[in-house]
Amino acid sequence: MDINENISPQGGFYYNNELYYSEAYRSLTKSARDLLHGFHNELRWTYNKRQINRKKVYVNNSNSGGVSFTEVHFKELHGYCSATYLKARNQLIEVGFIKQNYRGGMCRGDCARYRLLIDGVRQESQRWRRYPEENWAKDIPKPKKQLVGVKTQFRKGKSGRKTKATL
């Protein structure tokens, strides 16, 4: 199965000039821009039939749900490594393009979910508009505590050598 089978050639995303020339977008690396485009490709939308102008509504970009673009998919699609995905994701969070809704990683298939703050959300929720004055580095998820042997290493007064002779 080819990884590009899920990407529609007719699909795409229109970057308006306000977004494209913003300080937030200009500060992104190429890998972060690729990841942003990947997140946007995962959005699913429908038209709101109740309104007269039939406005586009994103069905999976809510506070409770979210968009998931996995590290494995990103690596297969663009050829980057895992560290590049994490740096790009952290940069998108810091400048305000995405917000993490759900951490994920509890079991197999449990993906992290994000909310895109580009379009389809209210203007006051679009963090990237306030980027140079504010950043959201505090919202970047920290690694889980996966330290092995923290309680048993480097105890005060112990050198780690056996005190009894074995002979």
Q: Considering the domain boundaries, does residue 101 fall inside one?
A: yes
Q: Considering the domain boundaries, does residue 165 fall inside one?
A: no
Q: What angle in degrees, to the nearest 10, is found between the helix axes of 30-41 and 82-95?
A: 80
Tally the domains of the chain: 1
- How far apart, in whole angstroms, are the C-alpha atoms of residue 163 and residue 24? 59
Contacts of 31 (CB under 8 A, 6+ apart): 78, 80, 84, 85, 87, 88
Q: What is the mean pLDDT of residues 47-60?
A: 73
Q: Considering the domain boundaries, does residue 154 fall inside one?
A: no
- How far apart, in whole angstroms, are the C-alpha atoms of residue 95 and residue 127? 7
Q: Considering the domain boundaries, does residue 42 fall inside one?
A: yes
Tens digits of per-residue pLDDT, 114-164? 988 887 788 888 899 999 899 999 998 887 666 666 666 666 666 656 666
Structural domain that includes position 56: 3-139
User: Helix, strand or coil for residue 115?
Assistant: strand
Element (H, E) at 20: helix 17-20
Q: Considering the domain boundaries, does residue 16 fall inside one?
A: yes
Higher pLDDT, 94 or 13: 94
Q: Considering the domain boundaries, does residue 93 fall inside one?
A: yes
- How far apart, in whole angstroms, are the C-alpha atoms of residue 120 and residue 63? 12
Residue 93, pLDDT > 90, answer yes
pTM here? Answer: 0.77
Residue 1, pLDDT > 50, answer no
